[in-house]
Amino acid sequence: MTTLCDMSSFGKIIGERAAETPGKPLDVLVAGCGRGEPLELGGVDCRVTGVDEDRPILRAHTVERPDLHVYALGDLRSVPMTPRGFDIVCVEFLLERVQYAELILDRMVNALRPGGLLLIRVRDRESAYGFVDRVLPGWLRGRFGEPLPAVYEPVCSREGLRAYCLMRGLMIAEDRGETTGPARLGPRGKLVETVCRVVAALSRGKLDPVYDEVTLIVRRPRNHFARII
């Protein structure tokens, strides 16, 4: 069974999945391909498709990614995603920066084959870091290394994603929180850490002061009677 042994590497999870079906190439969709590191696939036989918004900063990163065989940039409500065309869909730091996040997520679920895996990495709106990120003005966010919009619709949280999966009949195999916010890792990391702790204290426990990222492994059931989109 796929585990969370190293959720920092979606490539490792893809490799584990490939080992379950030797001799069968995997079709992988990377949603949010305009950010993040290329998948470390280690020779896994797969075809990787990327999708993201069509923004200059995202396009520049996408065209340089060595792991993508093909990509499409545009409105994620209409950009091509073949229904039931993928064994694995990776959604990395995308949902928190787009509008209509649930609709877009629905399209990604529809792109999964029965039994396929949905790997989600999202900045949690219910963390202190996520709260600060979404209330700061854009020009100030840019100074802390976040040049893209901060939308943070309700699904962009651990509870929001759990509710989404419940309503769609999806099975959450595992989930956990991480601390990876780019502003924490920069030269103002100490300041950001202090701000997060103050904000968490003012929230009276509603906002988590430590973790800011939620990572989940979600499975689309094989049973055609399951409640899928």
Instruction: Give the per-residue pLDDT at 42.
Output: 84
pLDDT in tens, the chain (229 residues): 333 334 347 888 898 888 888 888 999 999 999 988 899 888 889 999 999 999 999 999 999 999 999 999 999 999 999 999 999 999 999 999 999 999 999 999 999 999 999 999 999 999 999 999 888 887 777 666 677 889 999 999 999 999 999 999 999 998 988 888 888 877 888 888 999 999 999 998 899 999 899 999 999 998 755 454 4
Q: In angstroms, rounded to a whole number, what is the distance separating the alpha carbons of residues 196 and 214? A: 17
Structure tokens at 91: 């959604």
Q: Which residue has the tokens 């990614």?
A: 65
Instruction: Give the per-residue pLDDT at 144.
Output: 65
String of DSSP letters for 101-169: HHHHHHHHHHTEEEEEEEEEEEE-TTBHHHHHHHHS-HHHHHHTT--S-----TTSSHHHHHHHHHHHT
Instruction: Give the per-residue pLDDT at 2.
Output: 38
Q: Are 34 and 116 in contact (CB under 8 A)?
A: no
Taking alpha carbons only, the member of 11, 33, 15, 124 closest to residue 79 is 33
Region of 130 on the Ramachandran plot (φ > 0 left; ψ -120 to 50 alpha; else beta): alpha
Assigned CATH topology for domain 10-125+147-180+213-219: Rossmann fold (3.40.50)
Q: Which residue has the tokens 């073949």?
A: 82
Instruction: Give the per-residue pLDDT at 105.
Output: 97
Q: Are 175 and 166 in contact (CB under 8 A)?
A: no
Return the domain boundaries, the chain: 10-125+147-180+213-219
